Structure 1
Amino acid sequence: MTEAMEADKKKSIASAITVHDGRVLLVRRRVKEGSLSWQFPGGEIEEGESANEAAVRETREETGLEVKDVSVLGERVHPNTGRTMIYVACQVVGGTAAVVDDDELAEFAWSDGKALTDYVPYPFYGPVQEYLNDNLSS
């Protein structure tokens, strides 16, 4: 079975790329997915839900932060997890980030561009990296 066929069997994942005051929101999951530890808030897209809606919902459920979707940055099959990922740029509209879903999350962080490789030591998907390059403080 091809990688694309495997990805189609699992629900797609929406990730919220939320930049606020020159820093991006990251979460560290209690259980790693593949080699991933720190990542963007996100989760499976539910039946009848768009990727944009899922990114907003997952951010609220995981961190309590209220965001609105701005645009879809891109979509790919993730090379480490084999899951179809849809990356959604989001803006903060209210609240303060915290670990709300403590069954799933261990902690969260706001990272500027300079510290980002301390959390995620490998390159991001091209369109996500371009967005971060354009929007993060160094």
Structure 2
Amino acid sequence: MSNEAFARHLGVAVRTVASWHAKPDVKPRQEMQDLLDTAFDRASSSAKARFKRLIEPETDEAARSDASGEQAQALRVAIAVVVDGSQVLMVCRRGEDGGGISWQFPAGMVKPGVAPEAVAIRETLAETGVHCAIVCKLGSRLHPITHVQAEYLLCEYLTGEARNMDVLENVNVAWVEKAELTRFIPADRIFPPILEALEVSE
């Protein structure tokens, strides 16, 4: 985003964003850091992956370790595969440049110390208005597109009307018939255990 667009996104003055570019070593105030953390949490998986690649070249093994010598945690996302009978919940994300769309499952960034299960439930509600419960873990993999570690969780629908609760990031929210899933996401991009759990043929 431009300085102006990012300032609008955060709800802060343009000069504040400009000052971060001018003085990148300055540490933001706690309330501003909380705002930035929230913006990062709400960003798409691909934006988070690009952010990681931007900071990675300047990060060596020593910088990855904190003062206690513990290794920093790699970026992880929790992906909720929410099922209600013959249907599965999907979100339609906007392209990073405002153009183009892609259908995905609800997902959210997993912060250190937070369980992927909690993130999957929370982000599904935040994005779609749907309450769900974890059924089981489907496994994990390095996402083939975003290259972020993805944790997949099969969830069951509890209550709530599916609607687009995040108009900045998503275009639409919809229940899709399991049999129609591969019309929304190519089969070769879907984690195989998801297809098995939904009994969808490739």
- TM interval, short-chain normalised: 0.7 to 0.9
Percent identity reads: 34
Tell me, which stretches of 5 or more residues in structure 2 are unaligned? 1-52, 54-71
Shift of the alpha carbon at 1:75?
0.3
Shift of the alpha carbon at 1:109?
1.6
Shift of the alpha carbon at 1:10?
4.6
Match of 2:5 in 1: none
Match of 1:73 in 2: 138
RMSD: 2.4
User: Does the alignment pair 1:26 with 2:65?
Assistant: no
- Aligned partner of 1:106 among 167, 171, 175: 171
Structure 1 CA distance for aligned equivalents of residues 174 and 187 of structure 2: 17
Larger radius of gyration: 2
Q: Deviations over 1:75-96 (max 9, x none)?
A: 0001111010000011111111
Q: Deviations over 1:8-49 (max 9, x none)?
A: 8652000000010211111011135xx981110011012321
Structure with the higher fraction of residues in helix conformation: 2
TM-score where L is the length of structure 2:
0.58
Q: Is the Cα contact below 8 Å between 2:73 and 2:112 reproduced in 1? A: no
Q: Is the Cα contact below 8 Å between 2:129 and 2:162 reproduced in 1? A: yes
Kindly report which structure 2 residues correspond to 1:1-138, keeping only aligned pairs within 5 A, or say none. 10-31=74-95, 37-123=102-188, 124-133=190-199
Q: Deviations over 1:28-72 (max 9, x none)?
A: 11135xx98111001101232101110001100100111111111
TM-score where L is the length of structure 1:
0.83
Structure with the higher fraction of residues in strand conformation: 1
Aligned residues: 128
Structure 1 CA distance for aligned equivalents of residues 137 and 161 of structure 2: 23
Greater relative contact order (CA < 8 Å, ≥ 6 in sequence): 1
Structure 2 CA distance for aligned equivalents of residues 118 and 73 of structure 1: 22
Instruction: Give secondary structure in 2 for the equivalent of 1:53.
Output: helix
